[in-house]
Every structure is written in C-alpha cells, then in structure tokens.
Amino acid sequence: MSKAPRLLLVMQTEDASAGRCARQLRERGYQLEFRYPQRGESLPAGMDGYAGAIVFGGPMSANDDGKLPGIRAQLDWIPTALDSGRPFLGICLGAQLLARALGATIKPHPAGLAEIGYFPIQPVAGQTVFNANALLHVYHWHREGFDLPHGAELLATGDRFPHQAYRYGANAFGVQFHPEVQQKILETWLTEGAHDLTAPGAQSAAKQRDLHVRHDLALDQWCEGFLDEWLRN
C-alpha cells in the first residue's frame, strides 16, 4: 500500500484551524503535518517528503521579524520551499510573507482602513484561477496589504487593497483572503476578535453572518477547483 502524500501546513497560533482547506485536502487523500514556528517549532530544511506547503494567516504582521522569531524563520524558509518546486500557497499573512520574501513591501491601507468581512474581488483577464465572468465574494480579516512582487502575475484585484491574489512561477500562489473560513471559524473570530469590528471599514458581525450565508457555497466551490489546480502544478 502506497503511503498518503504529505502536505506541510504552517500555522501562526496554537488554536488556529485550517478549516475548509483541511477538510478538502483530507478528502483528496493527503496527510497533513502541522508546524507552529511562533512557538519555536522548526521548519524543514527541505521539502523532500512533502507534496507542498501552505502558510496560513495570523494576527501578527509580516514586518514583525524584528520582534517575532517565528516570522523571521518563515521569511528565511520560504525561499527554500520555493526552490523545491513543490506547490506553495500563502493565505493572508502567508501571502504577505511570500510577497516580502520575494522583495515586495507590506504596508497598511493609506487611509487606515481594515478589510474585515466579505468583499468582492475582480478576476484579472487571462488568468485561469478565477471565473473571469463573475465577482467572487471572499472573506477577509486584515489591515495590511502587499505590493505585487517583481515577476509575479496578478490574478485578482479589489477596491480597497488592489492585490488580492497572485501567482509566482508555476506553482506558488498568494491570496489576501481566507478560503479556509467556514461557519465555525467565522463565529470564533467574531467572538475573539470583536474589538477589531470597530476598525474603520470593518463589517458588523450581523452583516458578516448574512454575507456568509449568501456567499459561502460559491467560495467552497471555488476552493475545490483551486486546490485541484494548485496541486496539479
């Protein structure tokens, strides 16, 4: 019997959940290995034995490498992951860490706005990751955005933060939003992060719940197709 392929999932906090992504990956037969660099766990010296890696989001900044060794460790490790040629995905903070490792700048919105809740993103013409004929409403929870790394392909844009998804090379992707968020995660974040809902531009908890009902199925279907494309490369 062949051994199930392994994916490395890099998590930022002890209680973080990979949510929808974990479920869909396990349904595809992948074994998931979790690492927690913020608590001092090391990242692998290479990607031998892994089919790919995902770096998830967290409340810290990609610019916190001076005070958080776990952020510095990820910035140092990402080039190794990319050099392996294995599929790599950065989600929210993970996308910002990927962008910074590629030389791009991470910075707040110029007017101090947050992007917390469901907001539409606009696919860029010519890409194959999103349906070019439809807006996809995705879930966000962030205050910083990133410049597009040199050599990267922009896949989707947004009104508040223009760089919402990008591709670097054949199989490295960064998305500013949170495809892993399903109802359980949403309710946890709305409770534990209630203080952030007063930030300029943040949607109320009631509006987020309403938009979750309206848009979660489409996001679930997009994630299914995206993971298939990501893992094929």
| Residues annotated catalytic, as ranges | 92, 178, 180
Residue showing tokens 């907001």: 119
Q: Is 229 left (phi over 0), alpha (psi -120 to 50) or beta?
A: alpha
Residue showing tokens 């910035």: 75
Which of 130, 226, 122 is CA-nearest to residue 171? 226
How far is residue 7's CA from residue 31's CA, in Å, rounded to a whole number? Answer: 6
Q: Is 40 left (phi over 0), alpha (psi -120 to 50) or beta?
A: left
Which of 60, 80, 79 is CA-nearest to residue 71? 60
Structure tokens at 176: 């500013």
How far is residue 140's CA from residue 208's CA, in Å, rounded to a whole number? Answer: 10
210, 127 contact by CB (below 8 A): no
How far is residue 118's CA from residue 125's CA, in Å, rounded to a whole number? Answer: 22
